[in-house]
Each structure stands twice: as C-alpha cells, then as structure tokens.
Amino acid sequence: MVIALLAIVFAAYQAYLSRQHNRVSLRPSVGTDIRWHMKDEGIELSYLLVNYGLGPARVASFDLLFGKEEFPSVTHAPIEEMIRKACGGSMDVNVEHSGMIQPGYCILAQREYLLLRAFFRGLKRGDESRIKSVLEPLDFRLVYESVYGEKFELTSVGAKKG
C-alpha cells in the first residue's frame, strides 16, 4: 500500500516536472538585430525583430515611441514617418521598407521580422554613429506572449518578463 502511494506521488511529481520542462522549452525570446550594409552611394540600415527562442512569440501589442512618448501616426507608414521626423531634412534618407507588426501576428522560433530598411545616401563607412545619434529618440514597445500565455516585453533598450 505504501509503495503504491509512493508510486502515485512520484508519477504526479514527474508529470509536474514534464509540464515545467515543456513550458521552458517553448518559451520565445525576441530580440533585435541591426545590420549595416556599406555601399558606394551610402549606407543601408536594416532593423529586425528576431525570435531566438524555441517557441513562437504571439504579438499582444506594438507601440512606437518618440522621445519616450507614444508616437501619434497620421499615415499608413508610421515607422517611415518617424524616421523622416527624426532626420528632419539633415540626411538624405530613402525608406525602402517599413513594417508595423500587428497584434495576433506570430514570430516563429528562429525567424526574423523586418521592421525597417532605410538607405542613407551620401554617407560612408564611419558615419554609423551619426545615423545612431539622429535616430536615438526612436523607440518601440513590443508585448508578446508564449503559447502558455506568459507575457514578455521588449523595447529597443532591452527585454523583460512581464
């Protein structure tokens, strides 16, 4: 009788550990990746969201921030609008791609989502710091969740569990 009771307790504990392992195994981990491409005519900047985790990241919300305040967009391309406002005519920039990630979208494990590709005409190697200083007030807040409903938050500064 005691052995049977211990077997049931052990099986329940093993099931608990298995559930915990599955939860950790399917946890998403979204980060950012900035890629610089030097060309003869200027510098191309690509800004991506990357899911480095093993599980999908379901987007709960995505907000753009300009100088720590939410950015009120008046166009269908708010990221492009923010870039143009930040540059303010000081740089010749061509936004080749800008994509707003929508709630409900899933970034699959080990996949990336292109937020921005911009070409800065007339700049050369070494001018990356100039671009960074102009774009410094730009930020975003991404809230995403795992398949188990755990919430996480990412800003361009870093990530935290919510």
Tens of pLDDT, residue by residue over 24-69, are 778 999 999 999 999 999 999 999 999 999 999 999 999 988 887 8
Is pLDDT at 159 greater than 80 in this prediction? Answer: no
pTM: 0.80
Q: What percent of the chain has pLDDT over 70?
A: 94
d(CA 23, CA 7): 24
Q: Is 83 exposed, middle or buried (0-12, 13-18, 19+ CB in 10 A)?
A: buried
Cβ pair 51, 112 in contact under 8 A: yes
Regarding predicted confidence, which is higher, 23 or 118?
A: 118
Residue-wise pLDDT for 63-114, tens only, equals 988 887 888 776 788 888 888 888 888 889 999 998 889 999 999 999 999 9
- Between the ranges 75-79, 143-147, 153-157, where is the mean pLDDT highest? 143-147
Cβ pair 30, 52 in contact under 8 A: yes
Residue-wise pLDDT for 102-142, tens only, equals 999 999 999 999 999 999 999 888 888 888 888 888 889 99
Angle at 62 between CA 57 and CA 67, to 5 degrees: 135
d(CA 44, CA 26): 34
d(CA 18, CA 128): 47
- At 157, the pLDDT band (50, 70, 90 cuts) reads low
Partner residues linked to 58 by β-bridges: 106, 145
- At 12, the pLDDT band (50, 70, 90 cuts) reads confident
